[in-house]
Structure 1
Amino acid sequence: MRRRVDGEVRFDAGSRGAYSTDGSNYRQVPIGVVVPRSVGAGAEAIAVCAEYGLPVLSRGGGTSLGGQCTNHAVVIDWTKYCNRLLSVDPGNRTCVAEPGIVLDELNRQLSSYGLKFGPKPSTHGQCTLGGMIGNNSCGATAQAYGKTADNVRRLEVLTYDGLRCWTGPTSREEYEKILATGGRRGELYRGMREIADQYMADIRTGFPHIPRRVSGYNLDSLLPENGFNVARALTGSEGTLVAVLHAELELVPVPAAEATLVLGYPDIFTAADDVPRLLEHCEPTMLEAIDGRMAQLMREQHAYLDSLDRFPDGDSWLLLQFTGDSEQEADDAARRLLRAIDRSEHNACVVLSDDPAREEEMLKAREAGLGVTARPPDDRETWEGWEDSAVAPDRLGGYLRDLESLFTEFGYQLSSLYGHFGQGCVHTRIPFDLRSANGVAEFRRFVERAADLVASYGGSLSGEHGDGQARGELLVRMFGEPLVRAFGELKALFDPDHRMNPGKVVRPNPVDADLRLGARWRPDGPTTTYFRYPHDEGSFDRAVLRCVGIGQCRSHSGGVMCPSYRGTLEEEHSTRGRARLLFEMLGGHADSPVSDGWRSVEVRDALDLCLACKGCKSDCPVGVDMATYKAEFLAHHYAGRLRPAPHYALGWLPLWALLSRAGPRAANAVLHAPLLAALGKRLAGVDAERQAPLFAEQPFLQWWRERGMPQPWPSDPRTVVLWPDTFSNYFHPHIAQAAVRVLEDAGFRIAVPAEPVCCGLTWISTGQLGVARRVLRRTLRVLRPWLEAGTAIVGLEPSCTAVFRSDAPEMMPEDEDVRRLAQQTMTLAEALLNRAPDDWQPPGLARTATVQPHCHQHAVLGFDADTELMRRAGIIADVLDAGCCGLAGNFGFERGHHELSMRIGELGLLPAVRATAPSALVIADGFSCRTQIEQAATGRRAMHLAEALAMGLDGPAPADHPEKLGALRQQSRPADARLAAAAAAAAVAATGTVTASAVHRLAGRRRNHS
């Protein structure tokens, strides 16, 4: 394979473990993984497999819920390189693309033509075109645009035995020409025609005539009345017949305007009953449903609350979207429906919106169904297995009632029912017991009964997720023996040796075999962990099982998760891939490729590129917290062993910063002297491309003591504790000084701990959790008087503040002082908005700003308070949705990480900073974010929000005023003259003005010492 294939060939344990499962209940360890660099290389990989008789699995985003993307086979992952949009024909509204392109990226590139691909599954940010073709995906927009098969014009496909050809609708003349040419292609076309002719009556009567029939092979596309369309017949075959190399797609115009109508109902059954009446009077782009159970779960998980607050009265809702060439046209379509059903938009059970942002949030709430229902707060595990059935819309209400009765009979109550009700497609997750023999047997009995139920309604086992292993064995209950026999004949025609994704759809593995858990799953015994996992019953094992494979960590834009995947496009470096390896590490299966437990090199290597940004904690729909899992793993992996040098050099940074007080200028000189710095970086495991940040000559605590302010009483309601984190104390004391000015202006009395304290962040991020716990306990002793008095603890560094709000409670959930600390810790913006006197107004600044939220603030603290405070201060903020800065604490400094660190930064943050107007501010509260911006040749210096507000207190002054610049030089006391000049220049470049404390803020000095 390595000799012949231009690609990355991986048969190592780590790669095999990362690809061992998809989004389903099933698990099969692959033989190996090939990541081809071109479509031709992928075809060559399949040719090599054919020579050795090895099974092949074509894989896209790996989000399949039926087990289509897990197999004991050679996995061909098309997503990393084979992801190009090759051509667009705007006149004919078609395009040609490779199979690995992600749907959102495809539509982003098509947007300049005013076109898009119509079907849009809820996983549109990570599902690939090849996967959509494999599953015949649909999504909410299928209401208007149909299934993927309805939008495929032609496919270039490859059979296991090497035939590569384009397929599509076949006229009689073309068919005769293909047969006359002979060869393997002629054999396939003749065989398909014979199957279609032989089973024509069964196909016409046995295929449900409903909008959402995805189960089985599309033999109906081979009927004469459907143009003998081979491309559409192969769509939905789940990689069991061919591999898709290229696709020619039919496109639709991007609507000019949209309007969303939300109707409330007393229950989901009543909502379903009303669907046929609604469809009589309108043709919406979408008609989606959310039930009261899902809304309850959202509220319990504090997710999508803004969307729910906008929903009308009711316990279940239908969401209808209308499009038009103008807002008026879209609104009129919604209002016509309301008049037809005798409702008014002023009714309490009706909401009409033409606000795109608001509508997007509403639809995101619906799309979040799988994640919200996957891990309910009541700690029940819910699973796929019957998440995708479909019936005719006019029979939906009756089907849902019977399905609910079946839930009750089996004791599977409180399951949410939602989905694409305009096409009769129902989604749900069910609390199956997949850990015991009796539970698995009940699971099997339920799906058999459910299959009979949906067949009795003339419905389909699958309405969009396909069959795979979850429904393959049940197809006979829906189609009957003759049609299942026809499926087998089509499979034998294309893949006689059963090598293409075997065990799925045809000759399927049993529905209760190859389970990810199952009665034979025996993980290693419980391990005493440092974190207590209070949201996972105190179990690391259960925390790892949070990942259900949705794959949102494989998105390419928006949010924070997952920067290492965005930088590498590697499954192993996604949150999901790492979770899979941690699951394999638990040792529950005898065939697990990861066999060394906590000492696993494969898991260590996968976690090495995790930035511990915590983006997954908030952006993952099920709340996987890989930063915590990484810290836990490192603690056990290196227990009793020598650690990597950066764990000592960077993990113990608070101690080295404290020791630097003996001679900060000497320390800075050593850290930046060319030869000594290079040697020091090598010994410390720091990348040679990184510059060590300068220690301030006067830390904040020394400045505070010299200020001589009396310590206020903890019980004084005006008192707040300003937390002197390592970065604001030893590196950027000007930020803490600016915060003092702003807090005092707001009427607060400031207390500062009299001795050096630390949150333990650097020890946590390097997995030195025993030390971190001791550091936290010491901090709690120092803070106890204020904790007991209920005094607010104001944090300036987001990562340190997040430790108090998240890491500390998860490490010591039983400690009452830790609970108090988490409750009383707040950001500067939260303190100023929520604790300042009502008559206080932030200083006016009237400036534009590019603002980078810190990842930990995004994930743990929230940024709404900062946004509101900047608005009140007159800052016109462009808050970036650009993802992680790429530095992420110690990560970007460690040797071997610099290239990826910069690549991640260049994905969003750094270009945005370079594009910022010279007169605009760049605001980033995180020390890492500011450092990355300054060291990445952006030509800009980022400031903390505290500095920006302090600028408002100073008032701006012309940058070229000579007396002002002279005063700045006299107030400055940098380590050397070059730093003073650089600080002054940076002040002008960053702000366009010079204030009385500009150089002081930049260089952290007070008097000229050059």
Structure 2
Amino acid sequence: MGTKPSTLFEAAAADMRDRVDGEIRFDPGSRATYSTDASNYRQVPIGVVVPRTPEAAAEAVAVCREHDLPVLSRGGGTSLAGQCCNAAVVIDWSKYCTRVESVDTEAGVAVVQPGIKLDALNNHLADSGWMVGPKPSTHVSCAIGGMIGNNSCGSTAQAYGKMVDSVRRLEVLTYDGVRMWVGPTDDDEFARIVAEGGRRAEIYRGLKDIAETYADEIRANYPHIPRRVSGYNLDSLLPDNGFHLAKALVGSESTLVTVLRAELALVRIPAASALAVLGFEDVFAAADAVPAVLEHQPAALEGLDHRLVDLEHSRRLAEKALRQLPDGKAWLMVQIDGDDQEEADRKAKSMIDDLCKQGAVDASVLDDPKRKKEVWAAREAGLGATAYPPDGPPTHEGWEDAAVPPDRLGDYLRDFRKLLDQYDYGSASLYGHFGQGCVHTRIPFVLWTAEGVANFRAFLEDSARLVVDYGGSLSGEHGDGQTRGELLPIMFGQRVVTAFERTKALLDPRNRMNPGKVVHPYKLDENLRQGVHYRPTEPATMFAYPHDDHRFSRAADRCVGVGKCRGDESGVMCPSYRATQEEEHSTRGRARLLFEMLEGDVITDGWRSTEVHDALDLCLACKGCRSDCPVNVDMATYKAEFLFHHYRGRVRPMAHYSMGWIPLWARLAAVAPHLLNAVTHKPGLSTAFKKVGGIDPQRRMPNFADQRFTTWFARRPTDGSAKPRGPVMLWPDTFVNNFEPEVGKAAVAVLEAAGFEVEVPNRTVCCGLTWISTGQLRVAKRVLRRTLTALGPALRSGTPVVVLEPSCAAVFRADMPELLAGDEDAHRLADQTFTLGDLLAEKAPDWQPSPVNARGVVQQHCHQHAVLGYTHERKLLGAAGVETDLLDAGCCGLAGNFGFEKGHYDVSVACAEDKLLPALREAGPDTLVLADGFSCRTQIRELAGERSPVHFAQVLAGGLAVKG
């Protein structure tokens, strides 16, 4: 399923480098990274061009024309029907072509470049009171160009229509070089264009002829529903629609033209809104109620069934939102807008009164923005929640967005459920944009056996006929691409499909624009990412991968491509992507490379691959993807696994020996800490030390403490009194023990004040973190086994283990059970590991901290965000009178050894500049800066001037007036 080697296209690549202002990538790693989108399909591209301007993109198309190479434009790469992967030159607009070129705030019009993300554009527009109408669930990552190519919708399309309704004009380029602004064309304008002659006149005359020739069939065969996304928008060329060429090109999926710029009609941000949630006895009853809800003119109307909610419960997704759902087995989420909150609430309650008389089981109204956001998150989590059900096989797209008339939705769902049952796909969840008759689902297709692929084809054909019988559209949101292109004759009839083919031939006579998609399509069971020949390498691994059938190949294929890791605003994932804006440095890009490594087609040297190594090199192992990714890809674990195999039997980078073995060096440094501090900080010696150790020369080395925490603890006087809450084991991690013993002293003071008897292991112990992060997994396992031996009696007696360093706690909770699968003590330690906040909240719920009365900014450690949480710490800080601003987005950028390693400094600082450093600059000079991670505190000290970050334990100890 690969393409010819990129060396065959080196002449084209050379011309690109000479003429195109951008990044030209025909290497195996880049081709592998762009080999698929969010669909079932895989096609390795010829190469990738990342233009810096729309003009550079136009020049790239010109070079492709001269070399007769096909072209595919790509925005966020989140397409679900295969339209964003092809054996073509891929133009990735999303890195540089992101400018808002103009905004007319009076008229509500913006001119933008295709690569700008929807959320970024809406953030830019927010102060002016305008926004883009459609809002797909991928709004954090989808690009405007992709939304135009796909005719995107989302929940807000209920009020504002599809993307076609937001497009005023487009600047486009045909493959043969015609560049023009297109939009509505009245008779005078048409006559002027035709009179000028040339290729543009030929295009306009040809399109007029197509519209006139097939007008009757277009009017008869295009379903009159809100969500007809399938096919070309030839209805926009009819006289009653103003011969609107820009709208006709929306949804053409890069098969007709290249869009260079877009002029968009904006909509006003609603003044106020209320969210009503209605519960029903089943999803069919919920669908039956849609017409009654539509009478109340909702701004959004979404449906979800109990299967989706059950899956979200099992995955612990949107937990706060799920607790707010009213009684029922299916739900409608209805947004009602108003001129103010009172009006919105009144309208919502009126609708509820009406619906409760017509079959709703229960209902509630939410007007608090935070609660509304949480409930919307439950709906947006649908794809991730349904991809890997814990009680069944993985599911796939393929028939995930069909649309029917809203007033027939209930009956359609009943028949569709029967069809699912007929094919033994009955576990599929049903949810989506019910107000517009659009249904989302993921189905457990078996796409790697001949029988499974045959059933996939048969089901899609039967489903297409069912939708057409209901007067619906094969696609109501995600487009045709390869999945539905072959099925278009079922929906439109051959005459309309011929009109599509004539349109393609007119605008792209050489068939070089995203060939094989929509028109003259590949078969729907060709180019499958898996397919009947899918036999990936199944390597022996160090981690157990219990959630992936203990197979690394399944873990590498876990990513579903929705691109949430390419977002820039919320969450931790993915800091290196945010810093570089590079696909290969996103979680998705890295997952694709690992998949291709096992496939062996483009990445041919397996674990020794330099392409995979280079992509993983900038992974901070923050574990943000473990929680933020909709399907919980755990790239930190995959990186450790890869590094183990990549360097097995070979000399490693020096940083792996210097930073990876820091627990050992710290023990040795304890003999003469002053001497080592002098060496690491004295000019000349410091430079040599860093060079030998593979440490970036711009980094300042932290100071070793004069006295280790464990030494202090062993020598400290005690009163000998029994503590009412019993013993706890305080974990002396390498960083607290050797660099910041004052944190450990503060924790002892707090624990004893709360009534615990504090113990510390009587021999050297370590969690193995630094060996894990550098892929030295055999050493890590030996270290962990020694630790379990040392802790064995305490673990078997049920003693809680309090861990102050979040990275160490995350090892015990997440990494160790997979490295030492089946070890009973390992699982005991995972269950008995507590953060200080967790222990106080769960084991001493009646204890109240002494007042501190301050304001604080909290840099939440990435592993707290991903694995541990910060809820209990925040509540205890509140009880101590500390008002906190929690920075739960972005990463400090140091990430243990990552920020110290040579070559990582710039990315490390860029990560800190994303969220952390701006927040610290805005905070008042007296504001406490809390950071439980040693890396976070180190980065803040180095980059944030006079700030002196402290651990949670130190804040609580400060209230006790304890001086370490």
TM-score (norm: length of structure 2): 0.97
Structure 1 residues not aligned, in runs of 5+: 955-995, 1001-1010
- Paired with 2:721 and 2:750, the residues of 1 have a C-alpha distance of 17
* Offset, 1:716: 8.2
Alignment partner of 1:537 is 2:566: no
The answer to whether the 8 Å contact 2:800/2:832 transfers is yes
- Structure 2 partner of 1:1003: none
- Paired with 2:845 and 2:804, the residues of 1 have a C-alpha distance of 20
Cα distance 1:733–1:343, how it changes in 2: closer, same or farther (>3 A)? Answer: farther
Equivalent residue of 2:335, what SS?
A: strand
The answer to whether the 8 Å contact 2:276/2:352 transfers is no
The answer to whether the 8 Å contact 1:712/1:719 transfers is no
- Structure 2 partner of 1:930: 937
Equivalent residue of 1:448, what SS?
A: helix
Match of 2:200 among 181, 185, 204: 185
Match of 1:374 among 367, 387, 412: 387
The answer to whether the 8 Å contact 1:654/1:758 transfers is yes
- Structure 2 partner of 1:103: 118
Cα distance 1:710–1:509, how it changes in 2: closer, same or farther (>3 A)? Answer: farther
- Paired with 1:450 and 1:344, the residues of 2 have a C-alpha distance of 30
- Structure 2 partner of 1:966: none
- Structure 1 partner of 2:46: 31
* Offset, 1:344: 11
When structure 1 is superposed on structure 2, of 697-706 and 716-725 the one drifting more is: 716-725
Alignment partner of 1:113 is 2:128: yes
- Structure 2 partner of 1:963: none
Q: How does 1:696-735 map to 2 (within 5 A)?
A: 696-709=705-718, 717-735=725-743
Match of 1:461 among 474, 480, 483: 474
- Structure 2 partner of 1:650: 659
Alignment partner of 1:485 is 2:498: yes
Cα distance 1:78–1:837, how it changes in 2: closer, same or farther (>3 A)? Answer: closer
Q: What amino acid sits opposite 2:220 in the alignment?
A: T
- Structure 1 partner of 2:771: 763
- Structure 2 partner of 1:230: 245
The answer to whether the 8 Å contact 2:75/2:92 transfers is yes
Alignment partner of 1:262 is 2:269: no
Alignment partner of 1:21 is 2:29: no
- Structure 2 partner of 1:434: 447
Q: How does 1:191-202 map to 2 (within 5 A)?
A: 191-202=206-217
* Offset, 1:378: 2.1
* Offset, 1:341: 3.3
The answer to whether the 8 Å contact 1:746/1:837 transfers is no
Q: What amino acid sits opposite 2:815 in the alignment?
A: D
- Structure 2 partner of 1:1006: none
Match of 2:592 among 533, 555, 580: 580
Match of 2:675 among 666, 673, 677: 666
* Offset, 1:255: 1.1
Q: What amino acid sits opposite 1:14 in the alignment?
A: G
- Paired with 2:323 and 2:797, the residues of 1 have a C-alpha distance of 35
- Structure 2 partner of 1:689: 698
Structure 2 residues not aligned, in runs of 5+: 1-15
Alignment partner of 1:337 is 2:351: yes
- Structure 2 partner of 1:410: 423
Equivalent residue of 1:688, what SS?
A: coil
TM-score (norm: length of structure 1): 0.93
The answer to whether the 8 Å contact 2:725/2:755 transfers is no
When structure 1 is superposed on structure 2, of 12-21 and 700-709 the one drifting more is: 700-709
Alignment partner of 1:392 is 2:405: yes
Q: What amino acid sits opposite 2:612 in the alignment?
A: V
Q: What amino acid sits opposite 1:775 in the alignment?
A: V
- Paired with 1:359 and 1:232, the residues of 2 have a C-alpha distance of 33
- Paired with 1:319 and 1:403, the residues of 2 have a C-alpha distance of 22
Alignment partner of 1:148 is 2:160: no
Match of 1:509 among 512, 515, 522: 522
- Structure 1 partner of 2:4: none
Equivalent residue of 2:456, what SS?
A: helix
- Structure 2 partner of 1:944: 951
Equivalent residue of 2:190, what SS?
A: helix
The answer to whether the 8 Å contact 1:794/1:826 transfers is yes
- Paired with 2:104 and 2:43, the residues of 1 have a C-alpha distance of 41
- Paired with 1:189 and 1:323, the residues of 2 have a C-alpha distance of 41
- Paired with 1:835 and 1:497, the residues of 2 have a C-alpha distance of 72
Deviations 1:633-670 (A, max 9, x none): 00000000000000000000000000001100000000
* Offset, 1:950: 1.1
- Paired with 1:623 and 1:470, the residues of 2 have a C-alpha distance of 26
Deviations 1:984-1008 (A, max 9, x none): xxxxxxxxxxxx73xx6xxxxxxxx
Equivalent residue of 2:818, what SS?
A: helix
Deviations 1:348-394 (A, max 9, x none): 61111101110111011101111110111125110011001000001
Equivalent residue of 1:586, what SS?
A: helix
- Structure 1 partner of 2:792: 784
* Offset, 1:799: 0.4
Equivalent residue of 2:289, what SS?
A: helix
Equivalent residue of 1:258, what SS?
A: strand
Deviations 1:403-430 (A, max 9, x none): 1111111111110000000000000000
* Offset, 1:882: 3.2
- Structure 1 partner of 2:24: 9
* Offset, 1:881: 3.0
Equivalent residue of 1:582, what SS?
A: helix
Q: How does 1:832-871 map to 2 (within 5 A)?
A: 832-836=840-844, 838=846, 840-871=847-878
- Paired with 2:192 and 2:958, the residues of 1 have a C-alpha distance of 78
The answer to whether the 8 Å contact 1:215/1:463 transfers is yes
- Structure 2 partner of 1:277: 292
Deviations 1:236-291 (A, max 9, x none): 000000011111101111112110000000110111011112212x1111000010
- Paired with 1:257 and 1:823, the residues of 2 have a C-alpha distance of 45
- Paired with 1:711 and 1:138, the residues of 2 have a C-alpha distance of 68
Deviations 1:790-821 (A, max 9, x none): 11100100001100000001112201111110
Equivalent residue of 2:540, what SS?
A: coil
Q: How does 1:889-908 map to 2 (within 5 A)?
A: 889-908=896-915
The answer to whether the 8 Å contact 1:635/1:768 transfers is yes
- Structure 2 partner of 1:961: none
The answer to whether the 8 Å contact 1:2/1:9 transfers is yes
RMSD: 1.4
The answer to whether the 8 Å contact 1:206/1:479 transfers is yes
- Paired with 1:70 and 1:514, the residues of 2 have a C-alpha distance of 10
The answer to whether the 8 Å contact 1:271/1:318 transfers is yes
Equivalent residue of 2:670, what SS?
A: helix
- Structure 1 partner of 2:218: 203
- Paired with 2:355 and 2:516, the residues of 1 have a C-alpha distance of 48
- Paired with 2:724 and 2:39, the residues of 1 have a C-alpha distance of 56
Q: How does 1:768-847 map to 2 (within 5 A)?
A: 768-836=776-844, 838=846, 840-847=847-854
- Paired with 1:722 and 1:711, the residues of 2 have a C-alpha distance of 18
Deviations 1:811-846 (A, max 9, x none): 1220111111011101000111111262x2111111
Deviations 1:419-456 (A, max 9, x none): 00000000000000001111101101110111111011
The answer to whether the 8 Å contact 1:753/1:782 transfers is yes
* Offset, 1:865: 1.1
Q: What amino acid sits opposite 2:923 in the alignment?
A: T
Alignment partner of 1:325 is 2:339: yes
Q: What amino acid sits opposite 1:326 in the alignment?
A: D
- Paired with 1:587 and 1:263, the residues of 2 have a C-alpha distance of 47
- Paired with 2:392 and 2:62, the residues of 1 have a C-alpha distance of 47
The answer to whether the 8 Å contact 1:138/1:147 transfers is yes
The answer to whether the 8 Å contact 1:712/1:750 transfers is no
